[in-house]
């Protein structure tokens, strides 16, 4: 028996092939069975084998579960096997005779895939070499919920001669059940990382069916080849349709900064109430306004279609960074869109941000500058339709709302040029990672640029939103710039030190 290799197996209701699987592994000293809620005879079967140790844990995704199983292993070399896989008699002999002193190697072997008792060598099931033997001090599985794999960067992959039988499916019902499970995991994993649409789903379905049944010779394997080909195609269709649906659902918290301009704030809030896609909540980040602003927010909260919250701090001068942090700390959404209290929103403003949202990016939107006359008109009568051809607006391209053009012209950009927090979107996890806005900033200017610098330094990328997230900037007198020199110094320090975190940030306001 080998004392250098531990075997890990994930199980859930795996009674059908588990005994044969474990029997083929009887020569290994240790087998870790990590079960996530079996209700059949799986655990009873596993307990019959003296080299098996059972661990139970809720399902985390296949990659995390395989890494967790490896953490329970006694030996540094791990052989990862699925519960429906059976090693050929030759494969354990070959593995146990390996010289395992070179920890920079990983080992693969050929897997024969079966539908029922028929060995299928088509539909992409042939030439199926799988990596399964690795050293835990050198590598691990990628933390993916589905389609997990052993990381091999800088490692040597060595194929073995032995083979393994994989008893994938016995029936159409099993094909459908696994398809549903895997497509759901795929959609959750790729949510806001990959785009999808009904048209894309259909085209991928058609190509998958043609590839599996014709190009990969599924037609040679009777009804089994047809069943596998259609299942693979349907799985492709449903995973992209599920992804499309997942990408439509985004919990957005809308944060609106304000200070003693309740007339503008009232118009902005009413434009937020009219969004085609409503936020989870609206939070007013109030930097010390008088009581009339509080009264306005309390009044409008009664007509708001979503919770309207008021975050207020004492008026001790311009402290936008702290005001934003306090408001963001109240947010329950996974995504935060920040606007100023002088930005009237197009009805599709949040829909544009949702379409542009991608994991690993923050969004910089634009603004449409309004004349004093048009600004006063909106304040007097409330939000009203504005087109790129309306009088009283500047930068008319910014007033164009088009999902098609937005997809074409919204581009990734490096650096902090033209950073403006009057129209920005962030993932909450990214905000927390860099500790929000730096509250060392007092007085107008640069707190948004410094925040963006830390995001960029931490690996979050910038996406400029064009032809979407349209917002109209009400004309007003500019704020005092007397603190700009001191704030520039803080910004330059963050740039020179390549800062990714600020000590004086949002963490002090977070409950959890």
- pLDDT of 466 reads 96
Domains of the chain: which residue ranges? Answer: 2-169, 172-247, 250-509
Which candidate, 419, 254, 413, 410, places its Cα nearest to that of 340? 254
- Non-local (6+) Cβ contacts of 496 within 8 A are none
Look up tokens 């599920």; give the residue: 242
Question: For 277, how many CA atoms within 13 A lie in the half-sphere containing its CB?
Answer: 15
Burial of 226 (0-12, 13-18, 19+ CB in 10 A): middle
pLDDT one-digit tens code per residue, 259-273 = 999 999 999 999 999
Q: What is the pLDDT of residue 251?
A: 95
Kindly report the CA angle at 296 between 294 and 297, in degrees rounded to 5? Answer: 65
Question: Are 332 and 251 in contact, with CB atoms under 8 Å apart?
Answer: yes
Token pair 């531990």 is at which residue?
A: 6
CA distance 64 to 67: 5
Q: What is the pLDDT of residue 374?
A: 94
The pLDDT of residue 482 is 74
Please state, in angstroms and rounded to a whole number, the distance separating the CA atoms of residues 131 and 148.
11
In terms of DSSP bridges, do strands 28-35 and 2-11 run parallel, antiparallel, or are they unpaired? Answer: parallel
Is-same-fold flag (2-169; 250-509)? yes
Q: How is residue 399 written in tokens?
A: 């007033």
Q: Where are the alpha helices (DSSP H) in 410-501?
A: 428-434, 447-457, 484-496
For the CA atoms of 448, 454, 455, 460, the dihedral, rounded to the nearest 10 degrees, stands at 150
The class (CATH top level) of 250-509 is alpha beta
DSSP class of residue 200? H
CB within 8 Å of 481: residues ≥ 6 apart: 444, 445
Per-residue b/e over 141-176, b at no fewer than 16 CB within 10 Å? beeebbebebeeeebeeeebebebbbbbbeeeebbe
Helix, strand, coil percent content, the chain, rounded in steps of 5 = 40, 25, 40
- Do residues 65 and 143 lie in contact, with contact meaning Cβ atoms separated by under 8 Å? no
Position 327 scores a pLDDT of: 97
Question: What's residue 268's pLDDT?
Answer: 97
CA gap 473, 268 in Å, rounded: 10
Nearest alpha-carbon partner for 455 in 363, 334, 350: 363
* pLDDT tens digits along 163-203: 999 998 888 998 899 899 999 999 999 999 999 999 999 99
Mean pLDDT for each consecutive 10-residue tract of the chain (512 residues)? 81 96 96 97 97 96 96 96 96 94 95 94 93 96 93 96 93 90 92 94 97 96 94 96 94 97 97 97 97 97 97 94 97 97 97 96 96 94 90 91 94 93 96 96 92 97 96 86 86 96 96 71
User: Rounded to whole angstroms, what are the CA distances from 236 to 151, 180, 200, 309, 465?
Assistant: 25, 11, 10, 42, 30
Architecture of domain 2-169: Alpha-Beta Complex (3.90)
pLDDT of residue 484: 84
Residue 512, pLDDT score: 64
Closest CA to 215 of 124, 111, 125: 124
């Amino acid at each position: 028996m080998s004392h250098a290799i531990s075997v890990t197996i994930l199980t859930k209701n795996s009674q059908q092939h588990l005994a044969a699987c474990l029997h083929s592994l009887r020569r290994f000293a240790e087998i870790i069975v990590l079960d996530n809620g079996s209700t059949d005879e799986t655990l009873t079967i596993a307990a019959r084998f003296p080299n098996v140790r059972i661990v139970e844990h809720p399902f985390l995704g296949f990659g995390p579960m395989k890494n967790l199983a490896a953490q329970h292993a006694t030996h540094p070399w791990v052989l990862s096997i699925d519960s429906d896989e059976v090693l050929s008699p030759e494969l354990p002999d070959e593995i146990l005779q390996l010289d395992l002193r070179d920890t920079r190697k990983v080992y693969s072997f050929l897997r024969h895939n079966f539908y029922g008792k028929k060995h299928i060598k088509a539909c992409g099931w042939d030439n199926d070499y799988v990596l399964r033997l690795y050293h835990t001090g050198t590598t691990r599985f990628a933390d993916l919920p589905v389609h997990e794999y052993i990381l091999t960067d800088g490692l040597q992959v060595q194929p073995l001669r032995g083979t393994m039988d994989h008893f994938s499916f016995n029936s159409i019902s099993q094909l459908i059940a696994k398809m549903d499970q895997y497509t759901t995991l795929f959609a959750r994993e790729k949510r806001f990382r990959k785009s999808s649409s009904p048209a894309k789903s259909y085209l991928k379905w058609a190509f998958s069916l043609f590839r599996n049944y014709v190009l990969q010779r599924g037609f040679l394997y009777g009804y089994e080849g047809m069943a596998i080909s259609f299942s693979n195609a349907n799985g492709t269709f449903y995973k992209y349709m599920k992804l499309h649906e997942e990408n439509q659902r985004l919990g957005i918290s809308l944060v609106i900064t304000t200070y003693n301009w309740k007339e503008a704030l009232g118009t902005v809030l009413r434009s937020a109430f009219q969004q085609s896609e409503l936020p989870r909540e609206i939070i007013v980040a109030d930097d010390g306004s008088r009581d009339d602003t509080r009264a306005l927010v309390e009044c409008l909260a009664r007509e708001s279609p979503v919770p309207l919250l008021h975050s207020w701090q004492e008026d001790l001068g311009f402290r936008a960074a702290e005001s934003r942090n306090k408001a963001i700390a109240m947010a329950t959404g996974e995504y935060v869109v920040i606007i100023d209290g002088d930005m009237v929103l197009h009805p599709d403003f949040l829909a544009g941000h949702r379409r542009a949202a991608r994991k690993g990016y923050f969004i910089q939107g634009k603004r449409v500058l309004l004349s004093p006359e048009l600004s006063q008109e909106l304040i007097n009568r409330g939000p009203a339709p504005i087109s790129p051809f309306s009088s009283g607006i500047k930068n008319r391209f910014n007033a164009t709302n088009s999902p098609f053009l937005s997809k074409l012209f919204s581009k990734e950009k490096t650096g902090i040029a033209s950073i403006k927090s009057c129209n920005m979107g962030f993932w909450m996890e990214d905000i927390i990672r860099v500790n929000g806005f730096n509250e060392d900033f007092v007085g107008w200017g640069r707190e948004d640029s410094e925040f963006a610098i830390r995001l960029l330094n931490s690996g979050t990328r910038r996406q400029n939103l064009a032809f979407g997230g349209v917002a109209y900037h009400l004309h007003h007198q500019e704020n005092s710039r007397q603190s700009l020199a001191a704030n520039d110094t803080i910004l330059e320090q963050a740039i020179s030190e390549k800062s990714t975190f600020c000590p004086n940030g949002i963490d002090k306001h977070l409950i959890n």
